[in-house]
Structure 1
Amino acid sequence: MHTTVFEYGYLTSQEVDQTVLKTSRISENAYNYLKEVCLGSEEGSIGKCLNLTKRYGYELIQVKNYVGVLFTPTGEHIEVLPKVGRKQKNSKLSVEESREMLLMMLQHLGSFRHVSTNQANIASKKMPLLEVFINQFLQAVNSLVKKGLKSDYVTQVENLNYKKGKLLTAQQVKHNLVNKHKFYVEYDEYLINRPVNRLIKTALHKLTRYAMLASNQKLLRELQFAFHDVPESIFVKQDLNAVKLDRGMRDYHVPLAWAKLILEGFSPLSMKGEHGAISLLFPMEAVFESYVVSVLRSELPDGVELTSQACSEYLVKHNERSQFQLKPDLLITSPGGSKIVLDTKWKLIDLEEYHYGISQADLYQMFAYGQKYLGGQGDLFLIYPAHEDFTKPIAHSFNFSNSLKLWVVPFISDLQGKSRLIWPETFSYDGSIS
């Protein structure tokens, strides 16, 4: 059973008047588990992704700014999708569109770069996010099996009825002092039982608890049969450290990357409580930032350098020591040496709201970046997701001084490959806006 909710959406086990408050309903047992998590009685860090609250007399659990899949010990999983692709700020979002957008962004987030780009197929099946990840791992393993699993020489230590390889003298004396016909030996054998195959086999077994889609279950059974002669990994960390993928092992790169994610809890936020319920959750700010970085890097002119998470400057010096490191999301350096500082914000700009909804704390932060990275002269950019009412930069800059200006610009996320940052019309990569 799975439930879909958008970030900052509400979960409940009660009957709620949907005309008063939009909520997603889960079972009472699942709700009570998540409530315990919120109250801190569960180990792990899932609690920071959830908030126990009350609205219109209803006790509710609100999902924060994390997206992905949240598991419960009851077997239910909750799919949390980002609020992207909206046509209007208050319009109903398409679940399929939001899911596709998240998958597209995840392609640029670290180890999730192996997410397939075949979004049309995913959308047509309306596959829940969890099943999407399971399917992509299974397809990667299926491709590997068709090309053939690799064997390797594996060291074996056994007490045999015949001599083979190297006789281990100490063990021979200890075990075979009476049994003169036995040989305690060490030898190398060319086997399919190697660390990388054990890890994939273990990941396949782990998924038997989570795969619910009939097509995924069928393919999973077929692949488990293909790995019948491979034992599961007893020491996962040891096998991970032992894996070495040389040129002849290219077909293993994607399946192994997925296996690592599955065995380590699926995501950068690996969260396990005492019930062993894992999560697959991502902070949406990090997803958005990584996607913006990737798009910008591909469109910058030659010679223009883009630095992600610059960290060369500090806010103050105290007793001759630099303290409070300043880390803007992006720093663009032109061939002439001029610089531009940019920061991404996963929030909605509201042109009708006071200060457009821009946080005063964000302005203080950008001012500090401007002083330390630009020497108090130049241009700063705050990047927000675009929506129907915010498709071009705010017309006027926010001037910290005559020489230090902040621009607020939209980033358009497009499923057709046309994602882009909308710069002010007069912007130039030499670090100036005329």
Structure 2
Amino acid sequence: MHTTVFEYGYLTCDQAACDEFSAKLISKNDFNYLKEVSLSADESETNKCLGLTKRYGYELIQVKNYVGVLFTPTGEHIEVLPKTGRKAENSQQAIVESRQMLLMMLQHLGSFRYVASNQASIATKQMPLLEVFISQFLQSVNALVKRGLKSDYVTQEDSLHFQKGKLKVSQQIRYNVVNKHKFYVEYDEYLINRPANRLIKTALLKLSNYTRLATNQKLLRELQFAFADVPSCKSVKQDISALKLDRGMVDYHSPIAWAKLILDGFSPLSMKGDNSALSLLFPMEAVFESYVASVLRSQLADDAELTTQASSKYLVTHNGRRQFQLKPDLLLTLTDNSKLVLDTKWKLLDLEDHNYGLSQSDLYQMFAYGHKYLNGTGDLLLIYPAHSGFEKPIEFSFDYSESLRLWVVPFVSDLQGDSYLIWPEGFSFNALIS
């Protein structure tokens, strides 16, 4: 079973609270587990993803701006999707579009570049995220099996009836002082038993506990049979350290990338409680930033350089040491050395709100970027996701001074891949776009 909730939505085990707050109903055992995890998590882990709250006497768990999959010990998984502001929330079309948008963005996020959004696949659109990820791993392994698993020379030690390789004298004396007709030797044998194959085999075994989709279960069994002669990892960490993917192993790149994520507890953020339930969660701020950077980089002119997470400037100098590093999401540099600072924010702006819903702390942050990276002269852009209530840039700039201006602009995420930034009117950006 799986439950779908949008970011900042609520989970409850109380039907009355479900009706009152449009919360998603989960079992009492699952609720208590997530409650325990949210209360016991340290600052670096899941309290960033889950929050326990009480409203009108009802206990609720609120998911925050992390999206992906939460696992519970009962076997249920909770799918957390990003808000898009496009369709009525909780409609099937909204769920499908949100899932597809997340998959599209994840293609540009680090090790998840192997994600394929499969726009044309109706089956994929209906799959929950967990099964999509499992399916893509299985498909990558299936393609590898069809091309043939790679073998490698593996060092073996054994007592044989004939001498082969190098005689191990100390072991010969220890083990074969009576069996003088045998030889304790060390030799290399060309075997399928190598770290890459062991990691994939171990990941396949682990998935047996997670997939519920019949097509995934069928393919999983077939692939486990194909890896029947490969032992599982004795130590995943050691096999990852020993892993070598040379030029002849291009077909291994995608399955190994997936296997590492699966064996690491479906990282990038693992949520482990006493029952070792796991999670696959992504901070939407990082996903959106990575996607915007990738789209802009593909659209910029050749002479424009885009730097992500620039880190050359600091807020202050104290006792001769620079402190409080300033890291704007994006820094655009042209050939004349002029610069443009861009920062992404994953938030659905409501232009009817006070100050358009902008955060005062964000404006202070952009002020610091402008003075340190632009020397107080130039333009800064705050980029928010476009939606039905924010389809064009805020008309006027926010002026820190006569020479330093901040623009607030929407970024359109198109499911067909034609995503783009909407630049402000009258803004000199033609030289930036190829």
TM-score by length of 1: 0.96
How big is each residue's C-alpha offset from its partner over 1:21-57, in whole Å with a ceiling of 9 and x where there is no partner? 2011111111100111122179982232111112233
CA distance in 2 between counterparts of 1:404 and 1:127 reads 48
In structure 2, what is the equivalent of residue 355 of structure 1?
Answer: 355
Gaps of 5+ in 2: none
* Aligned AA (1:320): G
Give unmatched runs, 5+ long, in structure 1: none
Q: Give the 3 Å change call, closer, same or farther, for CA 43–178 of structure 1 in structure 2.
A: farther
The answer (yes or no) to whether the contact 1:410–1:421 under 8 Å persists in 2 is yes
Q: Aligned equivalents of 1:273 and 1:265: distance in 2?
A: 12
Residues 166 and 186 of structure 2 are in contact (CA less than 8 Å); yes or no, is this contact kept in structure 1? Answer: yes
Deviations 1:366-389 (A, max 9, x none): 000000000000001100000112
Equivalences for residues 274-293 of structure 1 within 5 A: 274-293=274-293
Cα distance change of structure 1 residues 177 and 17 upon mapping to structure 2, 3 Å threshold:
closer
- What is the match of residue 49 of structure 2? 49
Task: Measure, in 2, the Cα distance between the counterparts of 1:146 and 1:267.
Answer: 28
Aligned CA distance change for structure 1 residues 218 and 46 (closer, same or farther; 3 Å): same
Partner of 1:214: 214
Alpha-carbon distance in 2 for matches of 1:160, 1:43: 56
Greater mean alpha carbon deviation, residues 407-416 or residues 43-52: 43-52
Distance apart, 1:86 and its partner CA: 1.4
Match of 1:327 in 2: 327
Residue 92 of structure 1 deviates from its aligned partner by 8.6
* Alpha-carbon distance between aligned partners in 2 of 1:122 and 1:210, rounded to the nearest angstrom: 22
DSSP-derived class of the 1:119 partner? coil
Name 2:236's counterpart in structure 1: 236
Alignment of 1:25-424 (within 5 A): 25-40=25-40, 45-84=45-84, 86-87=86-87, 94-121=94-121, 126-424=126-424
CA distance in 1, matches of 2:230, 2:318: 59
Residue 351 of structure 1 aligns to a residue in which SS? coil
Aligned-pair identity in percent equals: 71
Whether the aligned pair in 2 keeps the contact of 1:109 and 1:291 (CA below 8 Å) is: yes
Q: Is this contact kept in 1: 2:314–2:323, CA < 8 A?
A: yes
Q: Are 2:41 and 2:47, in contact at CA under 8 Å, matched by a contact in 1?
A: no
Moved more, 123-132 or 202-211: 123-132
Cα deviation digits, residues 30-89 of structure 1 (max 9, x gap): 110011112217998223211111223321100011000011111111100000251479
Q: 1:369 to 1:331 in 2, by over 3 A?
A: same
Point out the more displaced range, 216-225 or 246-255. 246-255
Flag the 1:254–1:110 CA change in 2: closer, same or farther, 3 A. Answer: same
Residue 326 of structure 1 and its aligned partner are, at CA, apart by 0.3
Rounded to whole Å, the distance in 1 between the matches of 2:283 and 2:18 is 28
Counterpart of 2:190 in 1: which secondary structure?
strand
Please state how far the C-alpha of 1:116 moved relative to its aligned partner: 1.1
Residues 43 and 274, structure 1, Cα contact 8 Å, conserved in 2:
no
Is 1:89–1:387's contact at 8 Å kept on the other side of the alignment? no
What is the identity, as a one-letter code, of the residue corresponding to 2:201? K
Please report how far the alpha carbon of residue 426 of structure 1 lies from its aligned counterpart in structure 2 after TM superposition: 2.0
Deviation of the 1:270 alpha carbon:
2.5
Alpha-carbon spacing, 1:18–1:142, altered in 2? closer, same or farther (3 Å)? same
Deviates more, 1:47-56 or 1:108-117: 47-56
Report the CA distance between 1:429 and its aligned residue.
3.9
Instruction: Give the deviation of 1:420 after TM superposition.
Output: 0.6
Compare 223-232 and 21-30 and name the one that shifted more.
21-30
Contact 1:131/1:213 (<8 A) preserved? yes
Aligned CA-pair RMSD: 1.9
Distance 1:243-1:274 versus aligned 2 partners, 3 A rule: same
Q: For the structure 1 residues 39 and 17, does the alpha-carbon distance in structure 2 shift closer, same or farther, using more than 3 Å as the test?
A: closer
Query: TM-score, normalization: structure 2?
Result: 0.96
Q: Give distance in 1, aligned partners of 2:92 and 2:144.
A: 41
Indicate the larger mover: 217-226 or 274-283: 274-283
Query: What is the Cα deviation at residue 246 of structure 1?
Result: 1.4
**What is the count of residue pairs matched by the alignment?**
432
Q: Is the 8 A contact 2:96 2:126 kept in 1?
A: yes
| Residues 329/155 of structure 1: CA separation in 2 closer, same or farther (3 Å cut) | same
Query: Which amino acid counterpart does residue 161 of structure 2 have in structure 1?
Result: N
Q: Tell me the secondary structure at the aligned position of residue 177 of structure 1.
A: coil
Indicate whether 1:8 and 2:8 are aligned.
Answer: yes
267-276 or 325-334: bigger deviation: 267-276
Matches of 1:358 and 1:405, distance apart in 2: 15
Q: Is contact 1:158-1:184 (8 Å) kept?
A: yes
Equivalent residue letter for 1:205: L
Query: Does structure 2 conserve the Cα–Cα contact (< 8 Å) formed by 1:305 and 1:334?
Result: yes
1:394 and 1:407 in contact (8 A); partners too? yes
Distance 1:2 1:90, change over 3 A: closer
Q: Work out the CA distance in 2 between the residues paired with 1:228 and 1:305.
A: 49
Aligned equivalents of 1:133, 1:90: Cα separation in 2: 22
For residue 369 of structure 1, what is the amino acid of its counterpart? Y
Matched residue of 1:54: which SS?
strand
CA distance in 2, matches of 1:275, 1:132: 24
Secondary structure, aligned partner of 1:340: strand
Partner SS, residue 355 of structure 2: helix
> Could you say what secondary structure the match of 2:187 adopts?
strand
CA distance in 1, matches of 2:42, 2:345: 31
| Distance verdict in 2 for CA 1:171–1:198, change over 3 Å | same
* CA gap 1:184/1:47 in 2 versus in 1, 3 angstroms: same
- 8 Å contact 1:42–1:273 — kept in the other structure? no
State the distance in 1 between where 2:90 and 2:240 align: 47
Sort the Cα spacing of 1:18 and 1:199 in 2 relative to 1 into closer, same or farther, 3 A. Answer: closer
The 3-state SS of whatever aligns with 1:427 is: coil
Is contact 1:346–1:384 with CA below 8 Å preserved after alignment?
yes
Cα contact 1:308–1:329 (8 A) shared by 2: yes
Cα distance in 2 for residues equivalent to 1:404 and 1:42? 40
